C-alpha cells in the first residue's frame, strides 16, 4: 500500500476537489474534466436493482461515448431516496457541469457512502457555487481526486502507466474496501488517458479489462448500489496501438484491484485464487469466486491455517457443475500440492504467513482459467461494519 504520487500524468485534464460538508471536514467532492480534440468515454455500472440515481445519470453519459467529465460525492450514496434523490443527483450534475464548462448530459455522476440518506443539498449548492473552476491536473491533482472519493478506505489509490510506443499515459483512481463484489465491473474507479481511441474500441477494450480485473475482485460478496467505472480519453497524445493500450490499462486496473484487496475492511492479507483446467473461463470464474468468498477459507487464510479441506469444500458446493469430478481435481497452496496428495504442510503454512496468499485449483476438465482476488476475514471487518452508521 502506498500514497505515492502517480509517475505519469496525461495531458488535458482539469481537477477540482473540495469539502462540501456532506459528512465531516474531509474532502468529499471531486470533479475531473477532459479537454481535447477527440474526447471519448466508456463505462460500466452496477446491476443492483437498488442502483442509485447517480448510476442512471452516469450510465447515460458514459453510454453515449460523449462524457467529458466525472463528478463524485463521497460519504453519502444518495440511494433509496425516491424522487427527491433523483432531483438531488440531477442538480449535482447541473452544478458540476456549470463549474466544468461542459453540457450537463456529458457529466458522469457517482455518489458513495451511507444508503438511504439525502444529500445536504442546500449546503452542497452553496459550497459548489463558491468553488473556482477546475485547474490543470498534475500528479498531486490526480492524487487529491483519489483521496476525495474515499469513504472507509485507509489510503488513496492512484496509479499510472505509460502506453508503450507512444507519448500517451493512463492514470487510474479507485475507492472501495467493503460492500465489494462487482456484478458488472467495479465499485468506484476512474481512468483518464490522453490516448486517442475510437469510441467502439475504447468500449470493448474497457469491458475486456474490467472483466479480468475489477470483476475478479470480491471483499465480502456484496454488490454495491453505486458501482461505477468510467474511462475518459481526450486524444491529445494521438493514436496508440490497441494492444499496447489494453496492456497499460490492464496493468493500472490490476494494481488498483490489489490495492483494494489489501485495504479491504479489516484485512491483513490479499488472497489470490487461480482456477485452471475448467470447462471454460466462466466455470473457472464461478469456482474461483466460490473459493475467495468462502468465510471458512478467508478465516483459514487469516490464521495461516493450511486447511485445504475448506478449499475443496468451496469447489464442491458449486453443485450444479456436474462435470467437476473430485478424482480429477488438484489443489495447492502457494504452489505446494495439498490434494490429492498432501505434499508439505509446513511449507504451505509458511506461505500463508505472508501478506499475499495464492490458492490454486485445477479441475482437470479442459483449458478454462480465471483468477479471483480478495482478502482475509478478520474481527476488524465485523467491527467496522457493525458500527458503520453510528
Map residue 287 onto helix, strand or coil: helix
Give the CA count within 13 Å in the CB-facing half-sphere of 25: 0
Residue whose entry in the numeric block shows the C-alpha cell 490479499: 270
Give Cβ neighbours of residue 42 (< 8 Å, ≥ 6 apart).
62, 65, 199, 202, 203, 206, 207, 230, 231
Contact 219, 181 (CB under 8 A): yes
Cell of 281: 473461463
Residue whose entry in the numeric block shows the C-alpha cell 489509490: 157
Contact 158, 172 (CB under 8 A): yes
Map residue 46 onto helix, strand or coil: coil
**Beta pairing partners, 30:** 17, 72
What do you get for the CA distance between the two ends of the chain, in Å? Answer: 28
Torsions phi, psi of 264, nearest 5? -50, 145
Active-site residue, from 27, 186, 193, 276 = 186
Torsions phi, psi of 60, nearest 5? -65, -40
* Burial classification of residue 180, based on how many CB atoms lie within 10 Å of its CB (0-12 exposed, 13-18 middle, 19 or more buried): buried
Residues 297-318 as b/e (b if ≥16 CB within 10 A, e otherwise) read: bbebbbebebbbebbbebbeeb
Q: Please state the length of the chain.
A: 390
- Is residue 186 among the annotated active site residues? yes
387 secondary structure, DSSP code: S
* Burial classification of residue 281, based on how many CB atoms lie within 10 Å of its CB (0-12 exposed, 13-18 middle, 19 or more buried): middle
Give Cβ neighbours of residue 244 (< 8 Å, ≥ 6 apart).
163, 164, 165, 166
Give Cβ neighbours of residue 49 (< 8 Å, ≥ 6 apart).
none
- Residues taking part in catalysis: 186
Amino acid at each position: 500500500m502506498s500514497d505515492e504520487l502517480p509517475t505519469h500524468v496525461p495531458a488535458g485534464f482539469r481537477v477540482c476537489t473540495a469539502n462540501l460538508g456532506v459528512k465531516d471536514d474531509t474532502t468529499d467532492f471531486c470533479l475531473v474534466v477532459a479537454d481535447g480534440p477527440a474526447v471519448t468515454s466508456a463505462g460500466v455500472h452496477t446491476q443492483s436493482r437498488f442502483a442509485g440515481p447517480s448510476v442512471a445519470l452516469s450510465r447515460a453519459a458514459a453510454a453515449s461515448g460523449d462524457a467529458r467529465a466525472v463528478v463524485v460525492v463521497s460519504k453519502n450514496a444518495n440511494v433509496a431516496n425516491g424522487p427527491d434523490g433523483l432531483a438531488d443527483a440531477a442538480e449535482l450534475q447541473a452544478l458540476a457541469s456549470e463549474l466544468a464548462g461542459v453540457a450537463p448530459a456529458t457529466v458522469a455522476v457517482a455518489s458513495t457512502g451511507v444508503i438511504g440518506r439525502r444529500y445536504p443539498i442546500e449546503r452542497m449548492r452553496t459550497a459548489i457555487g463558491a468553488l473556482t473552476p477546475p485547474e490543470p491536473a498534475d500528479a498531486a491533482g490526480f492524487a487529491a481526486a483519489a483521496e476525495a472519493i474515499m469513504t472507509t478506505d485507509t489510503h488513496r489509490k492512484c496509479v499510472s502507466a505509460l502506453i508503450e510506443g507512444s507519448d500517451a499515459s493512463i492514470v487510474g483512481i479507485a475507492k472501495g474496501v467493503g460492500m465489494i463484489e462487482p456484478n458488472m465491473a467495479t465499485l468506484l474507479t476512474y481512468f483518464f488517458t490522453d490516448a486517442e481511441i475510437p469510441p467502439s474500441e475504447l468500449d470493448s477494450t474497457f469491458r475486456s479489462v474490467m472483466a479480468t480485473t475489477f470483476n475478479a475482485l470480491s471483499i465480502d460478496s456484496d454488490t454495491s448500489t453505486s458501482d461505477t467505472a468510467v474511462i475518459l480519453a481526450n486524444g491529445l497524445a494521438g493514436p496508440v496501438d490497441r494492444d499496447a493500450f489494453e496492456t497499460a490499462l490492464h496493468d493500472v486496473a490490476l494494481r488498483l484491484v490489489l490495492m483494494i484487496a489489501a485495504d479491504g475492511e479489516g484485512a491483513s492479507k490479499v488472497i489470490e485464487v487461480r482456477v485452471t483446467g475448467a470447462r471454460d473461463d466462466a466455470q473457472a470464474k464461478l469456482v474461483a469466486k466460490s473459493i475467495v468468498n468462502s468465510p471458512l477459507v478467508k478465516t483459514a487464510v487469516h490464521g495461516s491455517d493450511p486447511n485445504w479441506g475448506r478449499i475443496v469444500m468451496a469447489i464442491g458446493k458449486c453443485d450444479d457443475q456436474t462435470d467437476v469430478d473430485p478424482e480429477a481435481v488438484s489443489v495447492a497452496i502457494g504452489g505446494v500440492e495439498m490434494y490429492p496428495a498432501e505434499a508439505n504442510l509446513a511449507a504451505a503454512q509458511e506461505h500463508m504467513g505472508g501478506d499475499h496468499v495464492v490458492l490454486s485449483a485445477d479441475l482437470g476438465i479442459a483449458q478454462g482459467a480465471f483468477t479471483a482476488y480478495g482478502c482475509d476475514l478478520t474481527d476488524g471487518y465485523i467491527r467496522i461494519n457493525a458500527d458503520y452508521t453510528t
